């Protein structure tokens, strides 16, 4: 997601937002940064598919480079690495996948894959204004892409499928806000409602940034205190921060990726009050920008199936840690 799109206005003086990590995330990130040191010394991890993306228009979705040519039985070509998940066509659109027995039995997790691979075909629809509580914004955006044309919307959906498989193995009931089962969107206000109506115990919105080359790393976006119009985040600020800290710490530990070097003051955490997806949520929710698609080194990770599996694992383990307390 670029900072120049709807529901993601440019932050004011991001480097001035420096703040110390809380004790909880400090312990997790310190351990994870040791992994980052190893990562940096060895040149990072890759599965051989990174950077091999076919050329394409930045606005048009493209398949991940490591996508298998022939999906395994029970998977569609859109669920590469999905751990044997059933095809979206095998159940009604928006249906909640059945949960297994496990430590998260009874817990509901909503995964919000940012944007939609087909948004670029529906510019009029996604540009219409919707009410996000404090103000009005465009319904959605097309998202960003790597310089080689790997779309953010493809990335987020792939990671969402991987997370769904991991979380269902823990017994959670998992719902996606979109699964390539609708022509565009959903709009940012509907994305919030999906989590609210599911009475989700945790919601994570998946994104990848579109910042300048040289800007690297991930950051987790937390809701700020908002009580205006139809938005009231006061009840979710504290639990959302705990969720975000656990996601950030586990993301560092599992992926070896350092927190953003261009926003968040090195903490990997950023608080925002302008995002409709957070402002309208009544359940604990965070966004994660997994890396910068416009930086060559980050793009090599984001286009690697092996790294995306680590990203899904890190985020999922953060969710599990939050839900288990």
Please give the positions annotated as active site: 289
- The separation between the first and the last C-alpha atoms of the chain, rounded to the nearest angstrom, is 30
Structure letter (DSSP) for residue 15: G
Name the 3-class secondary structure at 56.
coil
Task: Quote the longest CA-to-CA distance of the chain.
Answer: 51
Q: At what angle do helices 237-255 and 305-324 cross, to 10 degrees?
A: 140
182 and 194 Cβ atoms separated by less than 8 Å:
no
Nearest to 161 by CA among 260, 308, 319: 308
279 and 273 Cβ atoms separated by less than 8 Å:
yes
Structure tokens at 49: 């598919």
96 and 173 Cβ atoms separated by less than 8 Å:
yes
Q: Report the chain's C-alpha Rg in angstroms.
A: 18
195 and 281 Cβ atoms separated by less than 8 Å:
yes
How far apart, in Å, are the Cα atoms of 35 and each of 98, 144, 200, 247, 320?
Answer: 35, 28, 32, 16, 21
Cα(60)–Cα(58) distance, rounded to whole angstroms? 6
Which residues touch 240 (CB under 8 Å, ≥6 apart)?
222, 223, 233, 278, 281, 284, 285, 286
Please report which helix (H) or strand (E) contains residue 244, including its range.
Answer: helix 237-255
């Amino acid at each position: 997601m670029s900072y120049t799109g709807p529901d993601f206005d440019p932050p004011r003086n991001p480097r001035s937002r420096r703040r110390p990590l809380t004790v909880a995330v400090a312990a997790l990130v310190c351990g994870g940064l040791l992994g980052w040191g190893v990562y940096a010394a060895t040149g990072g991890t890759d599965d051989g598919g990174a950077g091999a993306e076919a050329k394409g228009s930045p606005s048009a979705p493209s398949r991940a480079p490591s996508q298998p040519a022939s999906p395994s039985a029970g998977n569609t070509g859109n669920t590469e690495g999905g751990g044997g998940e059933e095809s979206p066509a095998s159940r009604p659109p928006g249906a909640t996948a059945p949960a297994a027995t496990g430590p998260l039995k009874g817990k509901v997790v909503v995964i919000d894959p940012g944007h939609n691979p087909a948004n670029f075909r529906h510019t009029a629809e996604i540009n219409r204004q919707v009410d996000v509580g404090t103000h009005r914004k465009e319904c959605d955006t097309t998202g960003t892409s790597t310089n080689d044309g790997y779309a953010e919307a493809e990335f987020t959906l792939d990671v969402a499928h991987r997370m769904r498989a991991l979380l269902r193995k823990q017994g959670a009931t998992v719902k996606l806000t979109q699964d390539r089962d609708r022509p565009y969107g959903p709009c940012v206000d509907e994305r919030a409602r999906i989590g609210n109506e599911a009475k989700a115990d945790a919601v994570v919105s998946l994104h990848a940034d579109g910042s300048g080359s040289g800007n690297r790393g991930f950051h987790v976006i937390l809701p700020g205190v908002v009580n205006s119009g139809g938005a009231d985040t006061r009840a979710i600020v504290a639990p959302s921060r705990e969720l975000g800290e656990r996601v950030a710490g586990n993301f560092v530990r599992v992926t070896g990726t350092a927190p953003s070097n261009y926003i968040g003051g090195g903490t990997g955490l950023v608080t925002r009050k302008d995002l409709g997806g957070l402002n309208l949520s009544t359940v604990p929710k965070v966004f994660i920008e997994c890396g910068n698609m416009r930086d060559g080194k980050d793009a090599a990770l984001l286009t690697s199936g092996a790294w995306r599996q680590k990203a899904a694992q890190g985020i999922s383990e953060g969710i599990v840690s939050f839900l288990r307390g």
